Structure 1
Amino acid sequence: MDEEEEVTGAAAVLKQQQRREKKELQAKIQSMKNSVPKNDKKRRKQLTDDIVKLEAEMEERHEQELEALAKSQPDQTSMDSVVNGVTSLDLESPALCQQSRVSKAQKRRDKKAALEKERDERIAEAEIENLSGARHLENQALTHSLAVRQLQIKQIPSDGHCMYRAIEHQLKEQDNALTLSNLRSQTADYMRQHADDFLPFLTNATTSEMFTEEEFEKYCTETANTPAWGGQLELRALSHILQAPIEVIQADSPLIVIGEEYSSKPITLVYMRHAYGLGEHYNSVEPLVTTSDDG
């Protein structure tokens, strides 16, 4: 493979990688859309802003990668003169072949090193920016609040099920076998059976009117069968279902306790506003692990 073919091959690999990243981003965006209720205008607007930002960041990064690859390509005129200059030499010479192989290998290493350096610089810049960002400050505050209680954050995936997965994790720690699917279906059933307790708090995003019976039934069906995001209404239903108080720890607000009438061991969740692109997210907690514990 000559130098021109090598460069062409590198460009093809990069473009293939970028196409794959675009597909992965589209899948992530679809998951983000599914996790936000259609009637939540505020979060849908934030979702649109976040999607635009994610797409713009990827497009900018892809342009930078292509520019970096273009800069690493050898000047074609120089390559032609080199090729023409050696046509009269013995191309089968072992020394010449060895020199050619070493040169190509070195160029590949140099190109790889340049791309890694650029990536490291981007990571360093992002880390510096994050130190003063809302996400970092929120995480610091939560870490401190939890450490006082000898707890730490247990990370939960951001897939629309986070609140239910966090509760599922807490229940497993208490030897309760209820699964995410159980929690969702029981929450929907409880809300249907106690509609008068929940309907006044659910309104149509377009008309601002209280949900009709049909809209309420659709809401309950989505709660049971889709990755619809759960909030305070669902936590209220779950506290009654589990006969347990549910604590919600936040960075910038006092502790919220739902189901204070119950005396059993509380379920403790962490509510984060800046954890991911969409902002709102629930994590679980686990006992704090310290250096001495590891030892």
Structure 2
Amino acid sequence: MEDSQRMVRRHYREKKELQARIQSMKNSVPKSDRKRRKQLLLDVARLKAEMEQKHQQELEKFQESFPDDSNLDSVTEDLAKMDLENQPPRLAKAQRRRERRAAAEGARLERIAEVEAERQAGFRHDDEEEKLSAILEARNLEMKEIPADGHCMYRAIQDQLVFSVTVESLRRRTANYLRKHVDDFLPFFSYSETGDAYSRDSFLSYCDDIVHSALWGGQLELRALSHVLQTPIEVIQAYSPVLVIGEEYAKKPLTLVYLRYSCSLGEHYNSVKPLEAGAVGGAAPRLF
């Protein structure tokens, strides 16, 4: 029975942690940003579904391990009734005191980690800008800032093209290419939270989101775009060599800059432009 109680308490703790994470996600997206709020609702629904599936699988495994446990029905009932608003099963006072002390210590260590993370983030922010500025200056280039609105990768590609094309068209053509080449791309898609591979239906749903939302693009979408445009795409990074995608094409590469730390909203892509006269030694633009 102790194992079952531990499982119940852990499931409750994991649900409360997910609740806090969801609230943090909601707070980070302005209510006025309808596209990102729509994507947020999809992400929240997926996270909840993944946790429910995980807990159900653990319960079924527990049932298989203890088929004759006379207390199993009550454990199953506890798990079935539990949601983000319920309280966990009653614990002994000594156990509650131990958990409160552990929670307080955990909060203290977490705050220390947050302070250190903030310090490191500030250092990485400045260091990344300096490295990128030096790399671009050596190529007689400078960064051209692209809005951090979820479309940044597509807008950066749009800025690099010599012909007129809309972001909506780039998204649609990317999604169509991915759909037509499912077997080539599906093995590389997985959920970042769990590492579980996408199903075919999940992959096709992801393609729909590319078209109908401000879903951020990454290396796999760039791979699709290089084929769509039949043009190589190079991505300049501060801490890794230049990444070239679509080397099989002979055209002049489109050039993007990838920022990991310098944008407060997270990972970001900018475009580039020729270095302006008198701008040598200037710092890369700050993103807020």
TM-score class, shorter: 0.5 to 0.7
Following superposition, the deviation at residue 208 of structure 1 comes to 4.0
Structure 1 residues not aligned, in runs of 5+? 1-22, 42-128
Q: Which residue of 2 aligns with 1:146?
A: 136
> Are 1:256 and 2:246 counterparts?
no
Change (3 A) 1:156 1:208: same
Task: Give the C-alpha shift of residue 214 in structure 1.
Answer: 1.6
What's the counterpart of residue 163 of structure 1? Answer: 153
For the pair 1:187 / 2:191, whether they are aligned, the reply is no
Q: Which has the larger radius of gyration?
A: 1
Distance between the aligned counterparts of 2:164 and 2:262, measured in 1? Answer: 28
- Residue in 1 that maps onto 2:18: none
Instruction: Give the counterpart of 1:284 among 267, 271, 286.
Output: 271
Structure-2 separation of matches of 1:138 and 1:35: 29
Paired position in structure 1 for 2:74: none
1:250-292 Cα distance to aligned partner (Å, 9 max, x none): 0111010000111101000000001222320000000100228
* Structure 1 letter corresponding to 2:150: G
**What CA distance in whole angstroms lies between the structure 2 residues aligned with 1:137 and 1:152?**
16
Counterpart code for 1:27:
K
The answer to whether the 8 Å contact 2:35/2:213 transfers is: no
Partner of residue 26, structure 1: 30
Distance 2:159 2:209 in 1: 22
Q: TM-score, normalised by structure 2?
A: 0.56
What secondary structure does 1:251 align onto? coil
Given that residues 143 and 272 in structure 2 are in contact (C-alpha distance below 8 angstroms), is that contact kept between their aligned partners in structure 1? yes
- Pick closer, same or farther for the CA change 1:223–1:31 going to 2, 3 Å: closer
Query: What is the TM-score with the length of structure 1 in the denominator?
Result: 0.55
Structure 2 CA distance for aligned equivalents of residues 144 and 131 of structure 1: 20
1:245 matched to 2:245? The reply is no
How many aligned residue pairs are there? Answer: 181
After the TM superposition, which residues 4-153 of structure 1 pair with which residues of structure 2 at under 5 Å, given as runs?
A: 26-27=30-31, 38=43, 133-153=123-143
* Identity across the alignment (%): 46
TM-superposed CA distance for 1:203, in Å, is: 2.2
Q: After TM superposition, give the deviation of residue 205 of structure 1 in Å.
A: 5.2
User: What's the C-alpha RMSD, in Å, of the aligned pairs?
Assistant: 3.1
CA offsets, 1:215-241, max 9 Å, x none?
Answer: 111100001111000001100000000
**1:134 partner letter:** R
Partner of 2:165: 178
Match of 1:284, SS state, is strand
Instruction: Kindly indicate whether the alpha-carbon contact (under 8 Å) linking 1:272 and 1:281 is maintained by their aligned counterparts in 2.
Output: yes
Q: List runs of 5+ in structure 2 lacking aligned partners.
A: 1-26, 48-118, 281-288
CA distance in 2, matches of 1:205, 1:132: 25
Select the residue among 205, 212, 224 that pairs with 1:218. 205
